[in-house]
Structure 1
Amino acid sequence: MSAREPRFPGLVLPSPLVELSDDRLRGPGIRLYLKRDDLIHPELPGNKWRKLKYNLTVARQQGHTRLLTFGGAYSNHLRAVAAAGHFFGFETVGVVRGEEHQPLNDSLAYAVGRGMRLTYLDRTTYRRKAEPDVLAALSEEFGPCYMVPEGGGNGLGVRGCAELPAEIERGFDVICCACGTGTTLAGIAAGLTGDQRAWGLAVLKGGRFLDDELRRLQRESFDHETDNWTIDYDFPFGGYAKRTPELDAFIADFTTRHGITLDWVYEAKMMYGLFERIGSGAFAPGTTIVAVLS
């Protein structure tokens, strides 16, 4: 399938790998690299592109002209699908969790600006979004669509993410990423070799279901599971798309130290948790870590 991988102007692959110089790493003896997937493309950054590219290929092969997907009001995934539709000539429909609010926030306004049509499901119905009657009602309203799961969470998305580790040309022991649906971590873990391990940080409160979901995604993608991954559930900062003054202070400090402003929904939580674990001795001295920014 990779030979037919869709490409478009401005796509930067492989994404850059840069070492982070930080005094908090010297005592523990840790080397930390950032995999700058956030620089893959300004409108389709990081794991969003990796999770969508094979879905776009299959949608085109199946003759679809419209993509339909799901997300919360602050979903980066909705933004990415809207951008993909713009660049690759698909109509797009975004099914948003909860009630409509005006004016639209920046994420939804961007999606609409890229041509996405928004519709809303109350939270009770949204929890049933994968059930046949809900999908049938959406198909009746919007016509034939290629359904992209929330967050790109399917086998095709996992396969795209599994390609990431092979882009890293230097040796490493641990690779880290933020977890929303588990798709990125499922793919990264499947792409590792030897004794390398993957560490994911859940960005939503009460996300313990992610362990089972990750196993399901790996089975769907590769017909087997791996045991080389761990999910850390201790740093949700109140839940998905929630933040605290402590997290905001970390983001500001990281920007001052490194000139990189972390996304507060995903990457800031991951980096905060990672530095906390490094400081508490969770990683042995001499460990080389890669943190994926997307």
Structure 2
Amino acid sequence: MTFLQTRTNIWLIPFMLGVFLFTVGYHVNNFTKLDYLHDSQSYYENFLDEGNCNCNCTVPNRTQKVPKILHYVYLNEDPNYLPFNFIHWLAFTSSIETIKPEKTYFHCIHEPKSYWYQLIKPKLTIMKTRIVTEIFGNPVNVIQHKSDIIRMEVLRDSGGIYLDLDIIALQPFDDLLYDDFTMGLEGEQGLCDAVIISRPFAPFLTRWIQQYKDFNDNHWNYHSVQLPYQMSQEYVNDIQVLNKTAFFWPTYMDEHLDLAFNSTNYNFSNNYAYHMWSSASYGKYLKYMSPKSIKSEETSFNRATLMKRPLTLMEK
């Protein structure tokens, strides 16, 4: 071997070493990149599985716990009970068109005979209910308390969305169907049972019903509003509590009713629904409401009602 050949072979050593290191580095880099992509995808999927998405959307792989069915309770055993009128038709229509339930159950003792009921009846599934006289041996005479008991038993057994007859739905409820049990604040220290969203046999609801062992018919809203709030402080993992603007704001106070029904100063865009507080607002506002007044009078409530559904629904 000549000196020239020896010198050439010496220079080949660093060249081959460089090629080897480049090849190893290239494959290591790609292997690491694939692992990074795989880990990122796994993290994203786990993130969604945990339901940590903060957007108002349906999250993939989350399990819907609450059936998309509506429940109404109409106990007309009391001759002074309000008849099924335009306001009720409006409430039912808004919920059916906005929430788009699979079924709408109408739990009643006797069916109404009014014009407005006949208009909505084809969209309802009629369920005959009983006259409640007691619970756990405690007498029940107040018709609103009888309705409270019926709605709780219905939701316990079949789940779904319970709405009072004077609830106007303004937004879909789809993103509220993934928790076991949901209620909304009334004021600062109450959970109003005019809207209840529950899966069948939700732990919070079954505990709540058991508390009726101490029911007192003379206490107006203790068991239906104050008690569930108190329970929500203890059983925080069994209930989703929505803020006061979800369903029950503006409230039943005169200045709040005026804000909703006699001004244009309230924006309902943050409300899933609105409780019209018919026991407080009927004589002054709801009694005089009609399709014509909703379309012609400029108020916060009328704006929200028309904005969320086709004008053709107001032609009746």
Per the TM superposition, whether the score is higher than 0.5 is no
TM-score of the aligned structures, taking structure 1 as reference length:
0.33
Structure with greater proportional helix content: 2
